[in-house]
Amino acid sequence: MRGVMRRLAVAGMVVLAAGSARSAAAPRACGSLVGTRLADAVVTAATEVAAGVFTPPADGLPGSPMALPAYCRVQGTARPTADSEIKFEVWLPAAATWNGKFQQAGNGGYAGSIPASSLANGLKRGFATAGTDNGHTGMSPVFAAGHPEKVVDFGHRAVHLTAVHAKVLVESFYGKAASRSYFVGCSDGGREALMEAQRYPADFDGIIAGAPANNWTRLLTSGVWNWRALNETAGSAIPVAKLGLIQRAAAAACDRLDRVADGLIEDPRICRFDPAPLQCTGADGADCLTAAQLAALRKIYQGPRNPRTGEQIYAGAVPGTEAIMGNWHRWVVASPEQPLPFLAWFGTTFYQSMVFEKPDWDYRTMDFDRDLATAMAKLAPVLDATDSNLGPFRARGGKLIQYHGWGDAAIPAPGSIEYYEQVLATLGPSVPEFYRLFMVPGMGHCGGGIGPADFGQNEPSAHAGDPGRDMVAALNRWVENGVAPEQIIGAGIRPGEPLLDPAKAAPVSRPLCAYPKVAEYRGTGSTAEAANYSCRVPARPH
């Protein structure tokens, strides 16, 4: 690995020397980048793309069509090992629309394609942007079996090398280096974000890590745990039709704890929801849970535990958003459109392709003591981004913003608080000087759900550029002007009354507060308006 880094440095100096000989006012022609050789990488295509409407490709991260300025689309391939084939792209806006900065986009899931929608988001903001397929094609982990170097590429090397090569190409194209470098990612992209801060602290000046899957090995183990619980007996499965029943009960138990009855549980840590009253007293019915269903629900809330030691392997699900579209019915329980929920699929394919490399491995044989130990020994050193020593990133002046939705069914939100607390324990009370965490009530995985789920973390919104409402702008201001974000206003919808009636949903805005603070209603004015809330450290212990 050291040899690879040395070759990268030499190649970078050669290309940058050539770029510095040109005038910064005269960017080179897009097509002239073709054939540019970098250490263990080459530019395979460079195409001028006219201004127009960008439509996200079907094989990438979801996104909305958006108008983009003209740009130079650079495609390249890096081969740091004989078994590596890392595809990357760098999108370079015209000099007149470039903001002088670089922003790299993270992936989702197992990656396997260029995150074009996220590159488009950065380009629309004026950044030169880049992304990678993480070294393989396709959304499943079948690439991993028998290919340990590809696992390293996926784990961290592809993202790092993309940053290195993209910066060289930015300087070569414009004749000057980007003034600042940023990384924005959610889910696996959040894992990548924390991996960069931990392993490669010099790559980026500012990082946004959304809903990070940083405790990757244990997280995917929880997918197997949930699926086992829902299939323990023939009657354990929880039908989608009963999710509303569960969410209503959770809201009834916990919604008013924040002194606002609006269907949003501001801080679920104070919620002690007991689903026992939902158990049927007689025959199974639409308004109750059978004993087997209740047992499965309890296990999902509990989260996976080691049967020998009792250790909590990973956080359990958080009550309060079970029935929201795209949440449990997509990630946790089986539905007609998703017979194998996503989290179960991630967990089983992880153990089949990456841990045991046996495609016929059966989740029902999972030993949550022995098999987890095997997974941790083999893959955690490569895939997990759990190192709490962010000292080198802090020493460089790096700034990190992390966010997580309390309604995230894919990656339970308590994991983000756990990691933040670990960093506090490692580095001490000065951590907020470079690292802030924002928890979002009601928000699902990376966005959506109910509540203030739009704060510029994904696509640029109507408030793009406003650091009080746009997380990307808040990070830029923190890095460039030293103003740390105390709160960011989120906007969205809140549930109607009765709960879950979309026709009765209403707009809502609320401050998202830097942890450990939460938004507290001041007691007067509309509960749907952010101006009527203050960020305060909660009085109740958690």
Single out the residue of 161, 167, 201, 196 nearest to residue 181, CA to CA: 167
- Which residues make beta-bridge pairs with 43? 76
Known catalytic membership, residue 408: yes
Residue that the structure tokens 């070759």 belong to: 7
Residue 343's alpha-carbon distances to 113, 221, 415, 429, in angstroms, are 20, 9, 16, 35
Residue 480 buriedness (CB in 10 A; 0-12 / 13-18 / 19+): middle
- Among candidate residues 40, 408, 454, 470, the one labeled active-site is 408
The DSSP secondary-structure symbol of 502 reads G
Known catalytic membership, residue 203: no
Residue that the structure tokens 């022995």 belong to: 370
CA atoms within 13 A on the CB side of 260: 27
The DSSP secondary-structure symbol of 318 reads P
- Among candidate residues 445, 454, 470, 509, the one labeled active-site is 445
Single out the residue of 432, 408, 434 nearest to residue 327, CA to CA: 408
Q: How far apart are CA 353 and CA 114, in angstroms?
A: 22
Q: Please say whether the beta carbons of 238 and 317 come within 8 A.
A: no
Token pair listed for 141: 């982990």
Token pair listed for 420: 């933040």
Classify 331 as helix, strand or coil: helix
Known catalytic membership, residue 160: no
Single out the residue of 159, 127, 228 nearest to residue 465, CA to CA: 127
**Single-letter code of the amino acid located at 518:** V
Q: Please say whether the beta carbons of 22 and 33 come within 8 A.
A: no
- Among candidate residues 113, 181, 187, 353, the one labeled active-site is 187
Q: How far apart are CA 81 and CA 40, in angstroms?
A: 8
Q: Within its chain, how far is the Cα of 100 from the centroid? A: 26
Active site residues: 187, 408, 445
